[in-house]
Chains A and B, each alone.
Chain A
């Protein structure tokens, strides 16, 4: 229980820090984002006093309101889910844009991360179990892919399979001409087809890390005495590998998985730029490009929240699967 409280306490503080960073950055930076944003909004249509007040609360204002009052206003707006209005996608509110783009990101990058993790863990288990096999010798090759910068690897894949051989589309999330978004077979098929290459690029660049980590943990777990006992008892090799060795060797990988799950939303920025995918990363860049500060802050907040949430979830999960963490504190 003590462990649980400590963990939750840490994340509450981290959440507060993230909100505060989000509050301070626009106010610390040179320039006047508020009047810039309001001027831009004014070009698109009339700015209601309420919209103006919400933007001021989010991004800071040059009126002589004390910082503390601004801070309380800001937190109040967040509590009711008001993130302001977007300029880039006028007149949509920021929350609805995040709602539209987030599923794409989680679907593509989340799924690719899970597949990569499962694949890497599976291959790593076998490579560690059969040391010196061809699979084990493959590991240096996959780790080489890791020192290749991700976005360059993605560019090369896009060049090879999108431009040179035209197996996959060059950009986009689905066929915008021939399909209608919704739960129909053509649209889902199109989404899968358009998502294959981006997903592949993520898997190729990250599977090596999972594989190497799992393989090394397998090797050190295999030298434990209890596995010798298991062998002496005459257990089947498959059972030893899965329920005796892999189950313990997977623990560090799971905490690594937590971190990478959290960075799904954050890491999406580069992937989505390369493949022009309609996710939250593209929206962030769009916001940066058009000085849409409200949208930018909103997306940053969502990204931070998702990282914190994923970390908290796995910390809690970890204390269930590895009782030693609870005992240590």
Chain B
């Protein structure tokens, strides 16, 4: 499973267009980008749209906190997605909530990447007792349940900032990906070319950054995408329980207020459906992107789909035999 990937952004080509010609495809592969499949395109389009909504939405919508005496009303021309119990515009809240949730996702994604990279990659590369200690620590963090720990920690701090919530979420969420990274680094550090550069007298940090890290990039990217999904869901869960950052608006706080405002009993679907739907869509879109990154890490997954074989212009009979042979 040799990876020809070199330092390149594995997520999201600038184009966003389905690959047409074979030349374009080979260029994408040489750059280390995943082949532009329908899955990847769908994922990029959905997550891109939500990202744009979170970035630009707050500039065009009304004030999300402005109270109106019209109370709980359904969608209308004045309020495209209806209003909450206190007459606040749901669309405006949704735009700010999207921004809030994505911010948490981005912060936790980066922090988790740093933590899991440190404990996974550095530990595995150093070997010896450092690896033993790091791996023991990782395994312990893995079995200590995350959500209860987050709840306990956050309950001691009455005034929580966004950063604190992000920090707590990353502290409880890095262990899983550190273990994955460790396993892969262990196999990398014993490859012939790494051993060769060690014999050639390369410095240790240089081997780590130049020989090993570039090969880890797809894996790091996919772990970071997981971390973002985990963070957004975690923050939503925490806020839904009423334990999120104080004064923030996110998909979770919207659901919290909807639940407390009896939106369920009053049948106010326009209040509690959109935030959950965006959460689900964003999670699904990121998972789709992750499938495509996985295909770089594990070439076995590549070209195994029916659609891919069809693109080789095989006849139905050939397809059947190929299927029998591979599966």
Contact = CB atoms under 8 A, between A and B. Distances in A.
Interface in B133-179: 136, 139-140, 143-149, 151-153, 155-158
B212 interface: no
Interface in B119-138: 136
B90 interface: no
A31 B153 CA distance: 13
B156 A33 contact: yes
A30 B151 CA distance: 16
A118 interface: no
B180 to A, nearest CB: 15
Contacts of B243: 288
Nearest to B288: A147
Contact of B240 (A151, A263, A267, A307): A151
**Chain A CB within 10 Å — which of B145, B149, B259, B284 has the most?**
B145
7 contacts: A14-B139, A14-B140, A148-B283, A149-B233, A149-B276, A159-B272, A304-B144
A284 B139 CA distance: 25
B254 to A, nearest CB: 11
A64 B232 CA distance: 42
A13 B141 CA distance: 12
B145 A304 contact: yes
Contacts of A191: none
B149 to A, nearest CB: 7
Given A149-B237, A149-B279, A296-B155, A144 B284 contact: yes
Interface of A: 10, 13-14, 17-18, 21, 25-26, 29-31, 33, 131, 144, 147-149, 151-153, 155-156, 158-159, 162-164, 170, 219, 222-223, 262-263, 265-267, 269-270, 273, 284-285, 288-289, 291, 293, 296-297, 299-300, 303-304, 307-308, 311
Contacts of B275: 152
A285 B143 contact: no
4 smallest beta-carbon distances between A and B, as pairs: A152-B276, A29-B156, A266-B145, A147-B284
B37 interface: no
A229 to B, nearest CB: 17
A300 B236 contact: no
Interface in B265-288: 265, 267, 269, 272-273, 275-276, 279-280, 283-284, 287
A304 B240 CA distance: 22
B309 to A, nearest CB: 14
Contact of B152 (A148, A149, A297): A297
Contacts, number: 121
A14 B284 contact: no
Contacts of A289: 242
Contact of A147 (B146, B264, B267, B283): B283
Contacts of B181: none
Contacts of B276: 148-149, 152-153, 155-156
A270 B237 contact: yes
A147 B289 CA distance: 13
Contacts of B147: 266-267, 269-270
B321 to A, nearest CB: 15
Nearest to B229: A147
A52 to B, nearest CB: 20
A38 to B, nearest CB: 16
B233 to A, nearest CB: 6
Contact of A159 (B139, B157, B269, B280): B269
B237 A163 contact: no
B327 interface: yes
A235 to B, nearest CB: 20
Contacts of B284: 144, 147
Nearest to A14: B140
A17 B273 CA distance: 41
Nearest to A219: B327
Contact of B255 (A155, A296, A304): A155
Nearest to A291: B155
Contacts of B148: 266, 269, 284, 299-300, 303-304
B151 A284 contact: yes
A164 to B, nearest CB: 7
Given A29-B157, A158-B264, 7 more contacts: A31-B156, A147-B283, A159-B267, A270-B241, A293-B156, A297-B152, A304-B144
B255 A151 contact: yes
Contacts of B152: 25, 288, 296-297, 300
Contacts of A307: 143-145
Contacts of A266: 145-148
Contact of B140 (A13, A159, A284): A13
A288 B155 contact: yes
Contacts of A304: 144-145, 148
A322 B155 CA distance: 42
Contacts of B283: 147-149
Nearest to A312: B143
A285 B147 CA distance: 12
A151 B140 contact: no
Contact of A303 (B136, B145, B272): B145
A288 B160 CA distance: 14
